[in-house]
Amino acid sequence: MGEMGKMAAAVGPVATLAAEPGEDAFRKLFRFYRQSRPGTVDLRGVIDFSVVHAARGTGPGAHKVVKSHLNVSSVSDHDAYRAGLQPVSKWRAYGLQGYPGFIFIPNPFLPGYQWHWVKQCLKLYSQKPNVCNLDKHMTKEETQDLWEQSKEFLRYKEVSKRRPRSLLEKLRWVTLGYHYNWDNKKYSADHYTPFPSDLAFLSEQVAAACGFQGFRAEAGILNYYRLDSTLGIHVDKSELDHSKPLLSFSFGQSAIFLLGGLKRDEAPTPMFMHSGDIMVMSGFSRLLNHAVPRVLPSPEGESLPCCLEMPLPADLPRDAVVEPCSVEDWQVCASYLKTARVNMTVRQVLAIGHDFPLEPMEENKRDITTEGSCHLDDENSQVKRARLNPDC
């Protein structure tokens, strides 16, 4: 077992769990968190970056948490403000020993500004011409505006909890920019729609603050998690330029994120992702195995994280990329997020000055639909629960 596996192997009772035949260390921990009954899962070994103090060595996993240095001068306070972020000088950023290139930024958003990004994920980014999981089963006319078809259902959700699910609640993923092909695990030049300018600006500021000036947001995968959703063990390796970071933004209910090694026999490190948290995977950490085995319902029942209770200010900067959010729109978003979370991952696909390689002739192609594919365990496939397609 490598250094990372040794560091993460002993996490409470998990180390004593019996492995199933052929089961690797990552899958073992994934199964532990996924299969634990609601309210009984042992979270003592899960790192919580919102409360951990690396310097004082307190909190779960604090012994492996280190402070990350940000490039404060690369993002002006005004540009941060335009994206709804606090000045970079006020951000807290952490890394983990043994995971070079991994940066975790606990909620750097200004109070209320998460509202914009949640609304964009549900109302705007889910619209055509962007691609979503419902497209395989429905016509373009039926998926033209999921928000309009769903908003009244969601607004009055509490009135009848046994009603059929709205289309927004059936949404599992949306792709932006260069649209990811789940069948062949590739991007292509001819499957592209304009990347949202506001999300590109947000991503570029975060990347610059982490030392990646010149980052170009070219592809996005939005994952929409219900409380029973999981994201399988996978590596994000389809982008043609791995020297650029992968950015991950979380909103809504908290989840457990597992970050492993280059091989799945290395036990992963578990950590919480709370609303507003940002993760950056770069360098060595860019090609590590990772997964989301569990979304955690609010301890108070169906409620929002406290950071989402503050409304978006009405007085926004004139050049802000953030737009106002009406009370009616937020009622729909809030109803949705009481039992869900949304994650935006943003990537640069191509190196500057490069283009997509020419495809080989059909007869020379290898079977890339099964080669190197990632999926949940067979035992998991027998459990009838919503799952997200992993990005291999």
* Single-letter residue type at 68: S
Q: What's the CA gap between 128 and 140, in Å, rounded?
A: 8
For 302, the token pair is: 């169906």
Number of other CB atoms surrounding residue 217 within 10 Å: 24
E strand residue ranges, 113-200: 131-132, 173-177
pLDDT of residue 190: 87
Which residues are known binding-site members?
A: 234, 236, 290
Q: What is the pTM of this model?
A: 0.85
* Single-letter residue type at 152: E
pLDDT of residue 124: 96
pLDDT of residue 375: 33
Please report where in the chains the tokens 């283009």 appear, as a residue: 355
pLDDT of residue 17: 56
- In tens digits, the chain (392 residues) has pLDDT values of 333 333 333 345 454 455 565 678 999 999 999 887 766 778 888 999 999 765 455 555 556 899 999 999 999 999 999 999 999 999 999 999 989 999 999 999 999 999 999 999 999 999 999 999 999 989 888 888 899 989 888 887 664 555 668 899 999 999 999 998 888 888 888 889 999 999 999 999 999 999 999 999 999 999 999 998 999 888 877 665 677 899 999 999 999 999 998 898 889 999 999 999 999 999 888 888 899 999 998 887 788 999 999 999 988 989 999 999 999 999 999 999 999 999 999 999 887 777 777 665 444 433 332 223 333 233 333 333 344 544 43
Q: What's the CA gap between 164 and 244, in Å, rounded?
A: 42
pLDDT of residue 193: 93
Q: What's the CA gap between 41 and 100, in Å, rounded?
A: 29
3-class state of residue 347 by DSSP = strand
Helical segments of the chain, H only: 3-9, 25-35, 77-82, 114-119, 146-155, 167-170, 197-209, 327-337, 378-381
Q: What's the CA gap between 350 and 352, in Å, rounded?
A: 6
For residue 102, the number of C-alpha atoms closer than 13 Å in the C-beta half-sphere is 22
Which residues are known binding-site members for Fe cation?
A: 234, 236, 290
